[in-house]
């Protein structure tokens, strides 16, 4: 069986999405604890393979995780989802940066082993949903991070010619406003990664659920979440230093231009005074 995750937008309107999916015959699973906030869980009647019911997890942060769902159903749900996305991503990028893991049912404790999820077949439906939630939570982080990694790579590509231009003493083609805009893009990306997401800390939900925390942490480790965040922050720091350099360079040019304007104005005034004295 397959578990597939996509990040499709910055955020979802979960309330409206729930109503829309219900109108198409999908049933919401309401057994999650209250502290599992900002998530919508939907059950699917006809699963892709026998042995486990199809389940979909929608995270408000803009990611969806499909468990044992048919491709046809997945495409239909993604189409419905489009109407409830805030700042959607490019479709090609969404499908390129997805995550997919195989999973099976076993006797004994659930775990992630060599890239395959093994779910305890003896769990009741509510506990099985909770364990799937823990795996899905980590997959959600991974696909969101993948989208931001792609955004940062695109940003780096847009400024990669600048160090060589500075080295060669060439004139920078960027204006002061464009440099400030690029700095804003970097700050926004840095804020998302370090302040408005769970990349740096384990969510509060797992503090008193050690078994779920272990599944979440193991999956994050397998997906290299911590290492990828560290690499991204190092790249962001380098980009910030470069944009600071660009801004300082432009500020110096502006200051020099102002100094010359002042010198010219003073020269003109002196000439006027000389002309008045002589004539």
The pLDDT tens digits for 199-231 are 667 788 898 899 999 999 999 999 999 999 999
Residue 133 lies in a domain: no
CATH number at residue 44: 3.30.310.10
Mind listing the pLDDT tens digit for each residue in 123-150?
A: 998 999 999 999 999 999 999 999 999 9
Residues 274 and 155 in one domain: yes
Residue 130 lies in a domain: no
* Last residue in a domain, options 125, 157, 181: 125
Residues 202 and 230 in one domain: yes
Residues 143 and 202 in one domain: yes
Residues 145 and 251 in one domain: yes
The mean pLDDT of 182-194, rounded to a whole number, is 80
Residues 197 and 69 in one domain: no
> Percentage helix, strand, coil, to 5, in the chain?
55, 20, 25
Residue 71 lies in a domain: yes
**What is residue 117's predicted lDDT score, i.e. its pLDDT?**
97
Q: Which residues of 12-26 are buried (b: 16+ CB within 10 A; e: fewer)?
A: bebeebbeebeeeeb
List the single range of 18-32, 201-215, 244-258 with lowest mean pLDDT: 244-258
* Last residue in a domain, options 103, 125, 147: 125
Range of the domain at 160: 139-278
Residue 132 lies in a domain: no
Residues 119 and 145 in one domain: no
* Last residue in a domain, options 125, 151, 184: 125
Cα angle, residue 130 at apex, residues 129 and 134 outer, rounded to 5°: 115
pLDDT higher than 80, residue 275: no
Residues of the chain with pLDDT > 90, as a percent, come to: 57
Residues 267 and 158 in one domain: yes
Residue 238 lies in a domain: yes
Residues 120 and 146 in one domain: no
Residues 157 and 93 in one domain: no
Eight-state DSSP code of residue 91: H
Q: Say how many CA atoms lie within 13 Å of 277 toward its Cβ.
A: 6
**DSSP SS3 for 173:** coil
The number of domains in the chain is 2
Residue 195 lies in a domain: yes
Residue 134 lies in a domain: no
Residue 219 lies in a domain: yes
> Which residues have CB under 8 Å from 20's CB, separation 6+?
80, 83, 84
**What is residue 152's predicted lDDT score, i.e. its pLDDT?**
92
Residues 194 and 92 in one domain: no
**DSSP SS3 for 257:** helix
Q: State the alpha helices, DSSP H only, in 26-105.
A: 71-81, 91-96
Mind listing the pLDDT tens digit for each residue in 35-46?
A: 887 899 999 988
Residues 74 and 104 in one domain: yes
Residues 172 and 64 in one domain: no
């Amino acid at each position: 069986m397959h578990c597939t995750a996509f990040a499709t937008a910055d955020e979802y309107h979960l309330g409206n999405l729930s109503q829309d999916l219900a109108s198409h015959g999908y049933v919401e699973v309401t057994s999650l604890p209250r502290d599992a906030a900002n998530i919508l869980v939907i059950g699917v009647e006809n699963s892709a393979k026998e042995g486990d019911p199809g389940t979909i997890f929608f995270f408000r942060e803009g990611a969806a995780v499909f468990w044992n769902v048919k491709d046809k159903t997945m495409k239909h749900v993604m189409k419905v989802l489009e109407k409830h996305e805030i700042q959607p991503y490019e479709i090609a990028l969404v499908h390129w940066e997805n995550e997919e893991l195989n999973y099976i049912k076993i006797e004994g404790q659930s775990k992630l082993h060599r890239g395959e999820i093994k779910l305890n077949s003896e769990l009741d439906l509510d506990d099985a949903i909770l364990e799937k939630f823990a795996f899905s939570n980590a997959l959600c982080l991974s696909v969101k991070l993948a989208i931001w990694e792609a955004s940062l790579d695109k940003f780096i590509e847009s400024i990669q010619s600048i160090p060589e231009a500075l080295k060669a003493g060439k004139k920078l083609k960027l204006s002061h406003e464009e440099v400030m805009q690029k700095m804003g893009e970097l700050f926004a990306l840095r804020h998302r990664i370090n302040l408005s997401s769970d990349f740096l800390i384990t969510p509060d939900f797992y503090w008193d659920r050690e078994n779920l925390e272990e599944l979440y942490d193991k999956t994050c480790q397998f997906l290299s979440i911590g290492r990828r965040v560290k690499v991204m922050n190092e790249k962001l720091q380098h980009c910030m230093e470069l944009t600071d350099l660009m801004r300082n360079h432009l500020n110096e040019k502006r200051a020099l231009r102002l100094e010359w304007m002042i010198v010219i104005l003073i020269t003109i005034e002196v000439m006027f005074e000389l002309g008045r004295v002589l004539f």
